[in-house]
């Protein structure tokens, strides 16, 4: 089966019908991943089924779970080759989407891919814990998404700085999500976040863990990365 056919099936299972334009964009994205991925360390997954299911369809889960409406200001922390930020923007063009990535080569790929896909995103090549201290990013977003960046107790400190009071952090996690949620309880409290719930996909692969900001973030957070790692909240 072609990448597009596999993606179409996976999206049908999520109750989302892609337009032919969107399918075309995912095809272009797949081509770009293969081209750049052949010579640059972008992602380990480059085959048809892997990209369609583990990258594209997986990225889109918050939409089918009704966790994203489609008009929010969103930041994707540690996007790598553009996940989940670019697929979310393709399917919900009304999102005001920022992708944040620390590695220059990956950020360059995101920028080139967005151009080829003809989607308008903001790209920041930097580190979350530093960018979250700047005035035009701190507590400025409705939603912060992040996939495969760090364990939840560390990830919450990297993401917490971006969301406004009432805004949400959505972490893509695997089957051990519940364990990580428990482990991150004290971090969430210190960061002014309230645990809302965990939303599993139908295959039991990915679970989206959701927190909401209930008070302003204390000035001390986020700390330097060395301290985040050394003294986990
Ligand atoms: N979210 C993507 C990539 C996961 S790999 C996916 O699911 O496929 C983790 C990525 O996060 C790497 O590209 C790494 O450079 C980036 N990253 C790790 N720590 C970061 C930080 N503190 N700030 C910004 N990016 C970070």
Mean pLDDT, the chain, whole residue set: 97
Question: Is the pTM value of this prediction over 0.75?
Answer: yes
Nearest CA to ligand 1 atom 1: 79
Q: How do 122-125 and 141-147 pair as beta strands?
A: unpaired
Q: Of 76, 54, 66, 233, which is closest to residue 141 (Cα–Cα)?
A: 76
Residue 85 CA to ligand 1 center (angstroms) comes to 12
In tens, the pLDDT along 159-196 reads 999 999 999 999 999 999 999 999 999 999 999 999 99
pLDDT in the model for residue 59 = 98
130 Cα distance to chain centroid:
18
Residue in 149, 161, 227 to alter for ligand 1 test, most ligand atoms within 8 A of Cβ: 149
Which tokens is 41 given? 């360390």
Phi, psi (rounded to 5 degrees) for 141: -110, 150
Q: Find out whether 137 and 131 touch, Cβ atoms under 8 Å.
A: yes
Q: Find out whether 126 and 132 touch, Cβ atoms under 8 Å.
A: no
Q: Find out whether 59 and 84 touch, Cβ atoms under 8 Å.
A: yes
List the domains of the chain with CATH numbers.
69-230 (3.40.50.150)
Q: Find out whether 9 and 3 touch, Cβ atoms under 8 Å.
A: no
In tens, the pLDDT along 56-98 reads 999 999 999 999 999 999 999 999 999 999 999 999 999 999 9
């Amino acid at each position: 089966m072609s990448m597009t056919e596999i993606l179409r099936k996976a999206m049908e299972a999520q109750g989302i019908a892609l337009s032919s334009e969107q399918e075309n964009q995912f095809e272009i994205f797949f081509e770009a991943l293969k081209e750049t991925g052949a010579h640059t360390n972008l992602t380990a997954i480059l085959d048809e089924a892997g990209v369609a299911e583990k990258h594209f369809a997986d990225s889109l889960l918050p939409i089918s779970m009704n966790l994203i409406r489609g008009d929010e200001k969103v930041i994707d922390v540690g996007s790598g080759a553009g996940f989940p930020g670019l697929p979310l923007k393709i399917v919900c063009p009304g999102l005001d989407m920022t992708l944040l990535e620390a590695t220059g080569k990956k950020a360059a790929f995101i920028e080139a891919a967005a151009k080829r896909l003809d989607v308008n995103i903001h790209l920041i090549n930097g580190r979350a814990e530093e960018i979250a201290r700047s005035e035009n990013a701190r507590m400025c977003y409705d939603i912060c998404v992040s996939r495969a960046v760090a364990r939840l107790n560390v990830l919450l400190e990297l993401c917490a700085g971006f969301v406004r009071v009432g805004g949400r952090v959505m972490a893509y996690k695997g089957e051990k999500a519940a364990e990580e949620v428990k482990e991150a309880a004290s971090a969430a409290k210190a960061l002014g976040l309230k645990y809302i719930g965990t939303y599993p996909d139908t295959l039991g692969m990915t679970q989206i863990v959701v927190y909401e900001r209930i008070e302003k973030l204390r000035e001390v957070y986020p700390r330097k990365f060395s301290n985040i790692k050394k003294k986990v909240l």
